[in-house]
Amino acid sequence: MIKFYFHHTPNPMKVALLLEELGLSYEVVPLDTFKGEQHSQDYLAVNPNGKAPALEDHGTRVFDSNAILLYLAEKHSAFLGAPDERAEMLSWLFWIASGLGPFSGQWVHFQTAGANEGGDYAKRRYKYEAERHYGVLDRHLVGRDFVVGNSYTIADMAAWGWVDRHARVLGPDGIDAFPEVKRWYSGVNARPAVERARAIGTDLRLKTTFDEETARALFPSNFAAAS
């Protein structure tokens, strides 16, 4: 059985969506990042980067969400798009992994916990870049139902994981400035697998209190000894 190391956050949610789309059997292994479980030696053997998600598939480990998407899609020959759209699919998949995701995540970080120092410069940069990435996607989606070609692919799932947090990134109605992203997002949300993916982990008792243990686990740089 596949082991899926999970926390209810954007990168694991992309994988949750693909697992549900593929209809695979898997065991959800909760990874309580608020308690620092991502730093345990056992977990680092699965994901040396110490982040969620990761997968163990009958002895094969895969880490980093978009690598997991590509691994599963290739293994099951599904959601890869048309062969002649391969370059386009890889381009968007890596753009999401290196751009939309990280800039959205960092902008949320600089608005919230642990982000009081050095704020203005970082906030200006990450807000601009997060919104710029939404703008790139919005312009690309004009006249399209999917990120790549004419079919739903892992690029849509990867983008969905982050756009699902648009209110944290852009503010409550911020997505209205990106009508094509909003339309595309509604289309993905209508898929039955989205509802099933959202249900994953609702029975888990993951820590929600943000205390010093959590701050140390998530923002270790704030606690590193001065060099």
Ligand X SMILES: N[C@@H](CCC(=O)N[C@@H](CS)C(=O)NCC(=O)O)C(=O)O
Positions touching ligand X (CB under 6 A) are 7, 9-11, 33, 38, 51-53, 64-66, 217-218
**Please, which residues bridge with residue 61 across strands?**
56
Q: Which is nearer to ligand X, 23 or 48 (CB)?
A: 48
Q: Which is nearer to ligand X, 38 or 153 (CB)?
A: 38
Q: Which is nearer to ligand X, 43 or 185 (CB)?
A: 43
The least distance separating ligand X from the CB of residue 125, rounded to whole angstroms, comes to: 19
The least distance separating ligand X from the CB of residue 133, rounded to whole angstroms, comes to: 15
The least distance separating ligand X from the CB of residue 183, rounded to whole angstroms, comes to: 25
Q: Which is nearer to ligand X, 165 or 183 (CB)?
A: 165
At residue 28, what are phi and psi to the nearest 5 degrees? -85, 120
Radius of gyration in angstroms for the set of CA atoms belonging to the chain, rounded to a whole number: 18
Contacts of 180 (CB under 8 A, 6+ apart): 137, 138, 139, 140, 141, 142, 144
Largest CA distance in the chain: 53
* Cα separation, 92 vs 111, whole angstroms: 27
The least distance separating ligand X from the CB of residue 115, rounded to whole angstroms, comes to: 14
* Cα separation, 140 vs 146, whole angstroms: 10
Please count the other Cβ atoms lying within 10 Å of the Cβ belonging to residue 66.
22
DSSP state of 96: I
At residue 150, what are phi and psi to the nearest 5 degrees? -110, 20
Q: Which is nearer to ligand X, 177 or 206 (CB)?
A: 206
* Cα separation, 33 vs 206, whole angstroms: 9
CB 39 within 8 A of CB 63: no
Q: Which is nearer to ligand X, 85 or 164 (CB)?
A: 164
The least distance separating ligand X from the CB of residue 220, rounded to whole angstroms, comes to: 8
The least distance separating ligand X from the CB of residue 98, rounded to whole angstroms, comes to: 9
